[in-house]
Amino acid sequence: MTLLGTLGVAVIGAGRMGADHVRRINDVISGARVAAVVDIDRARAEAASDGIEGCTAFTDPAAAMAAPDVDAVLIASPGPAHEAALLAAFERDLPVLCEKPLTPDPASALRVLAAEARLGHRRVQVGFMRRYDADYLKLKRLIDERAFGRTLILHNKHRNADTPPGFTDAMTIHDSAVHEIDVTRWLLDEEITAVRVLRPAASGEAPEGLNDPQLILFETATGRLVDTELFVNCGFGYQVTCEAVGERGAARIGDEQGVFTSAGGRWGTGIAPGFVERFEDAYDRQVQRWADATRRGEVEGPSCWDGYAAAAVCEAAVRAQATAGERVTVDLVERPALYR
């Protein structure tokens, strides 16, 4: 198999995630380089590209994609801008790593799905990075191998120290719970069919108007149940756990991170301050795998279908937030042949 040479990547979006991906491609992974950085704020694009040899700053994604040294695209702009960038990439048949969400809602995700299907081949990998986390990969193997029999229940915790100003109930689904939505579908290899959202007594530390914490319940196509404690203003750090309960045992990840110490009358380990630190290795592994597959002329990882399915579950979950714990079904179109 012949590999392409060093992959020239246009990074679209130079905010927190985009700048981190620029650093990752430039300093961490192999086989790729940052050929262009795009942001509507030219100064921010120039700051992110500064010091990178052969890297050009742009304000227009289409112009960056037209550059002769751009072979692939990494989209890290805000979700509402993803559809236009993806369609522009399809016009040039460029491979794409698109940060979640694929798009913010099922209708726009379906338009992207249809556009990719017209190409006749996959071009997009969606950035659900937990699928590349070492502990999640181990848990996935245990579930697939039925090490404890068939998995019946998943228990998730998703805690964040605090939220930025203006964070809303809907954002707790689209920005946070979306990860549990994707790992549920991936770990159990089936679709989520219904959602309930329960609201315990609100934390006094939660911003006014935000229901926090929340308990989200998913049902899957074969009747398995998944619960997620979502607490986005817990105050003490970023903590993600997942426990798979099988017929003959259980396995849990996320309880520990880093070195476990005993000193000064205390014992324990640290808690990551945020998602970037907690999943840094997963982000590195994801981008490296994407670059390697792209250089082989292949596309792997989460697809546009996974992005669409996550958007559909998010839409159902937001509807469920407006009820008193009522069950809301998830509406999915028939899965296209390209993604089977």
107-155 pLDDT, tens digit each: 999 999 999 999 999 999 999 999 999 999 999 999 999 999 999 999 9
Q: Are residues 118 and 153 in the same domain?
A: no
Confidence label for 1 from pLDDT (cuts 50, 70 and 90): very low
Confidence label for 3 from pLDDT (cuts 50, 70 and 90): low
Q: Are residues 188 and 318 in the same domain?
A: yes
Instruction: Tell whether 239 is covered by a domain.
Output: yes
**With the C-alpha atoms ordered 125, 283, 38, 166, is the resulting torsion angle positive or negative?**
positive
Q: Are residues 294 and 267 in the same domain?
A: no
- pLDDT at residue 154, as a whole number: 98
Percent residues over pLDDT 90 in the chain: 91
Six token digits for residue 286: 């994801």
**With the C-alpha atoms ordered 281, 286, 289, 292, is the resulting torsion angle positive or negative?**
negative
Q: Are residues 290 and 274 in the same domain?
A: no
Q: For position 325, which CATH number holds?
A: 3.30.360.10
DSSP summary character for residue 174: I
Answer yes or no: pTM beyond 0.85: yes
- pLDDT at residue 261, as a whole number: 64
Six token digits for residue 97: 């790593």
pLDDT at 90 exceeding the cut of 90: yes
Confidence label for 172 from pLDDT (cuts 50, 70 and 90): very high
pLDDT at 178 exceeding the cut of 70: yes
Q: Are residues 234 and 286 in the same domain?
A: no
**Radius of gyration of the CA atoms of the chain, in A:** 20
**For 38, left (φ over 0), alpha (ψ -120 to 50), or beta?**
beta
Confidence label for 273 from pLDDT (cuts 50, 70 and 90): confident
- pLDDT at residue 271, as a whole number: 79
171 CB-near residues (< 8 Å, 6+ apart): 163
Per the structure, the complete domain to which residue 104 belongs is given by 7-130+281-304
Instruction: Tell whether 27 is covered by a domain.
Output: yes
Q: How far apart are CA 171 and CA 78, in angstroms?
A: 13
Q: Are residues 196 and 269 in the same domain?
A: yes
pLDDT in tens, 216-272: 999 999 999 999 999 999 999 999 999 999 999 999 999 866 666 667 787 677 778
Q: Are residues 197 and 335 in the same domain?
A: yes
Residue 26 CA: distances (Å) to CA of 30, 186, 286, 313, 324: 9, 30, 15, 35, 49
pLDDT in tens, 189-228: 999 999 999 999 999 999 999 999 999 999 999 999 999 9
- pLDDT at residue 326, as a whole number: 97
Instruction: Tell whether 152 is covered by a domain.
Output: yes
- pLDDT at residue 2, as a whole number: 52
Instruction: Tell whether 240 is covered by a domain.
Output: yes
Q: Are residues 189 and 247 in the same domain?
A: yes
Number of domains forming the structure of the chain: 2
Q: Are residues 181 and 272 in the same domain?
A: yes
**pLDDT (average), residues 45-67:** 97
Q: For position 64, which CATH number holds?
A: 3.40.50.720
pLDDT in tens, 16-47: 999 999 999 999 999 999 999 999 999 999 99
Q: Are residues 121 and 178 in the same domain?
A: no
Q: Are residues 335 and 197 in the same domain?
A: yes
Q: Are residues 335 and 247 in the same domain?
A: yes
Instruction: Tell whether 135 is covered by a domain.
Output: no
